[in-house]
Amino acid sequence: MDPRFVNALTGLVATAGTFLVIALVVAGWVRSRGRRRTDAVESGGMQERVAQLETELGALAVEIERLGEHQRYVTRLLEERSVAKAKSVH
């Protein structure tokens, strides 16, 4: 299998996975937003909700960075493997 194809496919799958995770998190947040908004306004805990949201977004950012690191690592391994294979063939 062509190493460029494998690299492209790996990048595509990792990117699609990243967008899927982001879409699922945003969809869950939007669904729960309406319920949380009325609860927070009624209880006067808007600041607490904002702090919780900031914490959750920070955790999400860390996870997205981990996905990016994983994608770079896998791409590097595949590239090294294809270079080693090319050297052994020639």
Q: What is the pLDDT of residue 8?
A: 84
Q: What is the largest CA-CA distance in the chain?
A: 72
Per-residue pLDDT at 38 exceeds 70: no
Q: How confident is the model at residue 37 (pLDDT cuts 50, 70, 90)?
A: low
Q: Parse the chain into domains and list their residue ranges.
A: 3-84
The mean pLDDT value of the chain amounts to 83
pLDDT band of 73, cuts 50, 70, 90: very high
Q: Is the pLDDT confidence value at 45 over 80?
A: no
Helix (H/G/I), strand (E/B), else coil: 13: helix
- Mean pLDDT of the 16-25 span: 87
Q: Cα separation of 20 and 16, whole Å?
A: 6
